[in-house]
Structure 1
C-alpha cells in the first residue's frame, strides 16, 4: 500500500514539474508607468519560442511561453524592455508590467531646395532617379526595391570574397538564423513586422545590432534605398532569401 502511495506521489510530482517546464499560455497587463493607464497595441515577442502577441484595449495580452523564456516588449514612444517568464508567473496567473515613456526629440529635417522653372522637362530633370530594381516577396501584394542581381548571383561576390562577411556572419549565428523560418511562418510576427521600420524586433530575435543587420542586407546586394525604406518584414524576407542561397553555396564550398 505504501509502495502504491509513493508511486502515485512520484507521478503527480513529475506531472507538476513537466507542466512547469512545458509550454503554456501566460497572460499579463501592460500599463503606462507614469499614470497606470493600460497601453493598447504593445508588441510582445517571445524570443525563445519566436511567437508574438499584442495588447488589447485593456492592455491585456496572452502568449505561449514556458518558464525562463524571455519576452521582449516594445511600444512607440516607450522604452523597450525584456521580461523573464518565471514559475510564479505561470502558477499565479496574470502579471502587470509597466513601461516607461521616452523623451521624444524631433530630428532635424533637411529639405532639398529645387528651383522650379514651370517647364516640366526641366523640373523633372532635377528629381533624383532611383535605379533600383523591383522584386516581389511571397505573401505580399506589392514588390520592393533592391539592388542589381538576383538569385545565386546576388552573393557570389560576397561568399567567395577573402573577407567572407556573409560566411562569418551566418556561420557563427546558425541558431539565430534558424529562427528566420519560424519568424516567417508565424502570422503574429509577420503582422508585427509588416508595419514596423525600426528593426528592433529583428535585432533582438537575430542577436545582431542595427549596424550589422544593415551590413548583412547590403552584402546581400540590396540597395541603400531599400535598406532605408523597407519594412521590417521586407528586411526579414531579404535576409531569409540570402541565407538560403548562402547555405547552398556553403555546401558546395565545403
Structure 2
C-alpha cells in the first residue's frame, strides 16, 4: 500500500513539474549595463519561442510572457546582443538581473561627394540622380515583384524568379517551416513591429528565423527585390518582404515533391 502511495505521489509530482515547464507565465527582470550597473532603457526583448516582444522601462525593468526553456533575445544599440534561457530558478526567485556589455564602435571613414548644383532648375534637375525601382504585378499572384531599375530584361528577370523558384529558396523555406511560420506571428505582434520599424541591423530577424544576414539578403535578391531596397529598408519592411515572398513561394511550390 505504501509502495502504491509513493508511486502515485511521484507521478503527480512529475506531472506538476512537466506542466510547470510547459506553462506560460509572466516573468520579470532588469537589464543593466555590465560596466556600471546602470539601468538600460528601451532594450528590445523578444521571446524567440513565442515570438512576443517587449522593451525595458526607464528603470531597466521588463515583463514578458514565457515558459521554462524559452529563449529571450536582448538587443540594444551599442551593446552586444545576448540570448538568455528561462529556467526554473528564474520562476522560483522572481526578478532576475540581465547584464549587457557595451561594444566599442569604430566608424569607417566616409567620403562624401556632394552634387555640384548650378542654381538653374532645368540644369540641376538633370544632374541630381533619381533612383527608381519598379514593382511588377501579375494577375492571380497578389502582391508585386520589385525588378529594380528599368534596365533591359528587368521584366524577364522577375518572371524567371517567379515561375522558376530557385533551389536556394526551396532549401531556405522548405527546411525551416517552423521558423517561417513565425513570420506571421511577428507581423501580428505590435511590440515586435514597433521594434523592427526602428531597426536596420537585421539582428532580430536573424535570431528568430535562424538565418545569417547574407541569407536574408539572398532571399530578397532571389525574390526580385532591388539592391537599393535591401540596403535601405528597415527591419519591418524586410520582415514584410520576406513574408510576402514566403506566401508566394508556398503557392508556387505546393505541388513540388
What range describes the TM-score normalised by the shorter chain of this pair?
Answer: 0.7 to 0.9
Q: Distance in 1 between matches of 2:95 and 2:134?
A: 48
Q: Distance in 2 between matches of 1:252 and 1:74?
A: 40
Work out whether residues 67 and 87 of structure 1, in 8 Å CA contact, stay in contact via their aligned partners in 2: yes
Q: Distance in 1 between matches of 2:255 and 2:129?
A: 41
Cα distance, 1:14 vs structure 2: 2.5
Q: What is residue 61 of structure 2 aligned with on the other side?
A: 60
Tell me the matched-pair count: 242
Cα distance, 1:4 vs structure 2: 7.3
Cα distance, 1:20 vs structure 2: 3.0
SS in 2 for 1:251: coil
Name stretches of at least 5 consecutive residues in structure 2 with no aligned partner.
137-144, 150-155
Cα distance, 1:158 vs structure 2: 2.7
What is the TM-score of this pair, normalised by structure 2? 0.85
Q: Distance in 2 between matches of 1:219 and 1:238?
A: 12
User: After the TM superposition, which residues 1-254 of structure 1 pair with which residues of structure 2 at under 5 Å, given as runs?
Assistant: 7=8, 10-11=11-12, 14-133=15-134, 146-147=146-147, 156-158=159-161, 160-161=163-164, 163-254=166-257
Q: Distance in 1 between matches of 2:10 and 2:173?
A: 48
Cα distance, 1:6 vs structure 2: 7.1
Q: Distance in 2 between matches of 1:155 and 1:169?
A: 20
Name stretches of at least 5 consecutive residues in structure 1 with no aligned partner.
136-144
Work out whether residues 162 and 223 of structure 2, in 8 Å CA contact, stay in contact via their aligned partners in 1: no
CA spacing shift, 1:56–1:174, aligned 2, 3 Å: same
Work out whether residues 166 and 222 of structure 2, in 8 Å CA contact, stay in contact via their aligned partners in 1: no
Q: Distance in 1 between matches of 2:22 and 2:252?
A: 39
Cα distance, 1:207 vs structure 2: 0.8
CA spacing shift, 1:229–1:148, aligned 2, 3 Å: closer
Work out whether residues 135 and 148 of structure 2, in 8 Å CA contact, stay in contact via their aligned partners in 1: no
CA spacing shift, 1:9–1:208, aligned 2, 3 Å: closer
Q: What is residue 140 of structure 1 aligned with on the other side?
A: none
Q: Distance in 2 between matches of 1:162 and 1:190?
A: 28
SS in 2 for 1:79: coil
Q: Distance in 2 between matches of 1:92 and 1:21?
A: 18
CA spacing shift, 1:161–1:5, aligned 2, 3 Å: closer
What is the TM-score of this pair, normalised by structure 1? 0.86
Q: Distance in 1 between matches of 2:170 and 2:89?
A: 42
Q: What is residue 142 of structure 1 aligned with on the other side?
A: none
CA spacing shift, 1:217–1:163, aligned 2, 3 Å: closer
Work out whether residues 155 and 219 of structure 1, in 8 Å CA contact, stay in contact via their aligned partners in 2: no
CA RMSD of aligned residues (A): 2.6
Q: Distance in 1 between matches of 2:18 and 2:213?
A: 39
Q: What is residue 139 of structure 1 aligned with on the other side?
A: none
